[in-house]
Amino acid sequence: ITDQSVFTTLSLERFDGTDWSSHLQANDISATGSGAAHSLRLNGIARIGATPGTGLRLRIVHSDTQTREIAASELLSWCHIHRIGG
């Protein structure tokens, strides 16, 4: 991460069989400086249909002009998926 702050968005997107849409989202300004580390947490309940062709994806977007090792490790360190019903 550079000496300038980096705006980071973490989104959980839901696919309804036709299009992707943002379902849960977290934004923050990441820490700055050499060797800086910052955690961005996304909490909530995501529901998708039980039909084939639906799904979830996690996306990270940042404002840094260069692609760096942002979220290169432990991007998804904890995920709990639970099926309710049926």
- The stretch 13-27 carries a mean pLDDT of 87
Q: 26 versus 82: which is more confidently predicted?
A: 26
5-17 pLDDT per residue, tens: 778 888 888 888 8
Cα 60 to Cα 1, 34, 82, 86, distances in angstroms:
15, 21, 23, 32
How much is the pTM? 0.61
Overall size of the chain counted in residues: 86
Where in the chain are the domains? 6-62
